[in-house]
Amino acid sequence: MSDEITALQHFDDASLDTAFAALAEQVRRETASLSDPEAFRLHWLGRKQGRLKLISEAWLKSAPPEAKRALGIRFNQLKEQIEAALEAPAAGSSKTTVQGIDITLPGTLRTPGIPHPLLKTMHEIVSVFHHLGYSTNLGPQVESDFYNFEALNFPENHPARDTQDTLVIASQQSRPSRDRLLMRTHTSPVQIRTMIAQAPPIRIVIPGKVHRNDAADATHSPIFHQIEGLCVDTNITFSDLKGTLDHAMKALFGSDVKTRFFPSFFPFTEPSADVQISCIFCGGKGCRKCKHSGWIELLGCGMVDPAVFAAVTAERRKVNPSDDAYNPEKITGFAFGMGVERIAMMLHGVSDIGHFYSGDMRFLEQFA
């Protein structure tokens, strides 16, 4: 590698092209058999005695002002060629780098994924009812007013149908009221869809995400999960409902848990009831978590209102005018619904519902 730089006598384009072409050819010859990239780099790009520094001193400084721009362009092109050669050594290079394995480094730990605590709780609840012969049905989260309210016997002036309680889809005013879209406020629309599509007997559980226009706090979230159940057949009584839920609560919380039912009101069931279980924290003796009552309210239930069967029958008769599968004089049924987050908070001692949605791995890893 010769470091001699011959002074330029002429600075016209042809002379510059000839001079830099010779340098470029020299770079190509050297990189074709490049065995020591570091020596090559220092030879051409060294800060004190590199060839580019010598070229700059010999040519750029002595060039007339009108030739400096053309010379600078060719100088930068040569520098880029050298840098490219260093980044991608020639294919004919005789030096091969082999990447070994450093056995002193810690290994890569692959941690298996786990179900989210809400999904885990949901699966546990659904499993209880699967063992009772129930199947699982699902439905859309964006529902029409008919399935979410009208078929479930909600009157037009019911507070739940107000936008302060329900998240509605924008620009629905031109549609008939029953066709207006909203985010479902419960999984009950799947009950209606199932009965319209299927004649009795029916035994289903419906897990899913629901949406309400609620402000987030320690016990409320605008998005949460529900599991509802529906049983329709001949000779279904309130005693069947009580026995089913009593068994489910014992399967979830232990055989010592007791249940009791209080009269309540829901538009889609009659009679309706709230279900309480004996406090799992104090055994029914009374503590701060059960407000010293010994009981915790957990879910709602009731016998399916004949008005719901009437709405289902009206829809089924659009296909078969003589359909009488849901005649309330022949069949009865019960329904129930519970919040998954509330049960998960009780089972795992979580005080703030927001932890389930925070994405904080420190919280979620506790359930691994």
| Secondary structure percentages of the chain, helix, strand, coil, to 5 | 40, 20, 40
| Contact (CB, 8 A) for 279 and 294 | yes
Residue among 154, 189, 134, 200 nearest 332 (CA): 200
**Across 141-170, average pLDDT:** 87
Q: Render the burial of 116-131: b for 16+ CB within 10 Å, e for the rest.
A: ebbeebbeebbebbee
**Across 195-200, average pLDDT:** 95
Instruction: Tell me the per-residue pLDDT of 321-366, one tens digit each, with 9 for 90 and over.
Output: 999 999 999 999 999 999 999 999 998 889 899 999 998 888 888 8
pLDDT band at 207 (very low <50, low <70, confident <90, very high): very high
CA 104 to chain centre: 38
The distance in angstroms from the start CA to the end CA of the chain is 65
- 66 belongs to an annotated ligand binding site: no
pLDDT band at 74 (very low <50, low <70, confident <90, very high): confident
**Across 80-108, average pLDDT:** 68
> What is residue 93's predicted lDDT score, i.e. its pLDDT?
46
**Across 66-94, average pLDDT:** 75
**Across 6-19, average pLDDT:** 81
Secondary structure (3-state) at 160: helix
> What is residue 340's predicted lDDT score, i.e. its pLDDT?
95
- Of residues 101 and 246, the one with the higher pLDDT is 246
